[in-house]
């Protein structure tokens, strides 16, 4: 499904309020897919009472045709929006990066497994969803494209992952003073520059944040860890730090933006996190409003 930037942002619940967002460009060959976040029921019609005709399994992808009233239409039926991560995929082969470790890499496949050693059947350490980012600290050649040794949040070796699923995490630096306004009551963020509103988007807050105005600074490109009640997630990308060790970061394990969710202080899609990171320059600020 070829998309304009406005259509893609709409799929993520964002509203584009200016005709030009300089670094928010889309790959020319990319297609919009939904990545199943869990075992997902596919319904014949967009309603709970409709017949379930098949399932998508975790990390399975399906091209997205349309989104309406919380339902995503795929070729075979309808699925709940909250059950999938909308992702832009270019399914052409991406050559292994000719970059020497260490460097930051992001998952360009639907997901990437990190294992204890370089074998597809080695014990699983974790899985990083599309858009997640870790630091590559080692490389072992081998068919078809070799393995990357990736670091965890503390900088030590987390495990090994197939290089074919990753690409260097690069952005064009368009740093400028941004003003972000977070409304905790409606779980929505407004992004402004020079008194012009650029876009609005849903977020998820991981905790109640103190009201105030905070300086907003770039953190690490990736490698952030989040712990929820039952899970630990590695490789949260494009962190912007503010306040007392709080962060705005991309998340890949849910699509429930618009309501609070366990995780970082402010959670956005990985694509929006990348754009904010590229645009966040000196003197950027975030204003946090009360949850009332």
pLDDT band at 1 (very low <50, low <70, confident <90, very high): very low
The H or E element that residue 277 is part of is helix 270-279
Cis amide bond preceding 102, omega within 30: yes
> Which CATH superfamily, name and number, covers 179-289?
L,D-transpeptidase catalytic domain-like (2.40.440.10)
Residues in the chain: 292
The percent of residues above 70 in pLDDT, for the chain, comes to 87
Q: In this predicted structure, what is the pLDDT of residue 142?
A: 86
Predicted confidence band at 92 (pLDDT cuts at 50, 70, 90)?
Answer: low
> Measured between alpha carbons, how far is 30 from 53 in angstroms, rounded to an integer?
28
Q: Please compute the mean of the pLDDT values over residues 16-40 and round it to a whole number.
A: 72
Chosen CATH of 5-89 out of 2.30.30, 1.10.357, 2.40.40, 2.60.120: 2.30.30
Fold of the CATH domain 103-168? SH3 type barrels. (2.30.30)
- Estimate the share of the chain in helix, then strand, then coil, as percent rounded to the nearest 5: 10, 45, 50
pLDDT value, residue 84: 97
What's the rounded mean pLDDT across residues 226-253?
94
- Cβ neighbours for 141, distance < 8 A, ≥ 6 positions apart: none
Domain boundaries, the chain: 5-89, 103-168, 179-289
Query: What pLDDT digit, counting tens, does each position of 10-22 carry?
Result: 666 677 666 555 5
Distance CA 12, CA 169 (A): 21
Same fold, 103-168 and 179-289: no
- The predicted model scores a pTM of 0.91
């Amino acid at each position: 499904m070829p998309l304009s930037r406005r259509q893609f942002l709409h799929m993520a619940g964002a509203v584009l309020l200016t005709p030009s967002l300089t670094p928010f460009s889309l790959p020319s060959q990319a297609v919009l897919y939904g990545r199943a976040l869990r075992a997902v029921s596919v319904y014949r019609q967009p309603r709970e009472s409709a017949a379930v005709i098949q399932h998508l399994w975790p990390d399975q992808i399906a091209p997205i045709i349309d989104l309406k009233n919380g339902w995503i239409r795929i070729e075979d039926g309808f699925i709940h929006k909250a059950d999938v991560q909308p992702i832009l995929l270019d399914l052409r082969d991406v050559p292994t990066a000719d970059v020497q470790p260490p460097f930051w890499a992001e998952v360009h496949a639907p997901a990437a497994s990190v294992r204890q050693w370089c074998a597809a059947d080695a014990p699983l350490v974790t899985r990083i969803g599309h858009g997640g980012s870790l630091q590559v600290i080692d490389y072992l050649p081998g068919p078809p494209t070799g393995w990357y040794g990736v670091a965890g949040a503390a900088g030590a070796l987390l495990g090994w992952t197939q290089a074919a699923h990753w690409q260097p995490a690069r952005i064009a630096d368009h740093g400028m003073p941004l003003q972000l306004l977070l409304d905790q009551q409606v779980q929505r963020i407004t992004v402004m520059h020079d008194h012009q509103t650029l876009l609005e988007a849903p977020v998820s807050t991981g905790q109640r944040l103190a009201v105030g105005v905070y300086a907003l600074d770039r953190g690490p490109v990736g490698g952030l860890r989040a712990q929820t009640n039952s899970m630990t997630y590695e490789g949260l990308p494009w962190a912007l730090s503010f306040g007392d060790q709080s962060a705005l970061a991309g998340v890949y394990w849910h699509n429930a933006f618009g309501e609070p969710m366990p995780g970082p202080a402010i959670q956005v899609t990985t694509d929006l996190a990348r754009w904010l990171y590229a645009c966040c320059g000196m003197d950027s600020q975030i204003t946090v409003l009360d949850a009332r």
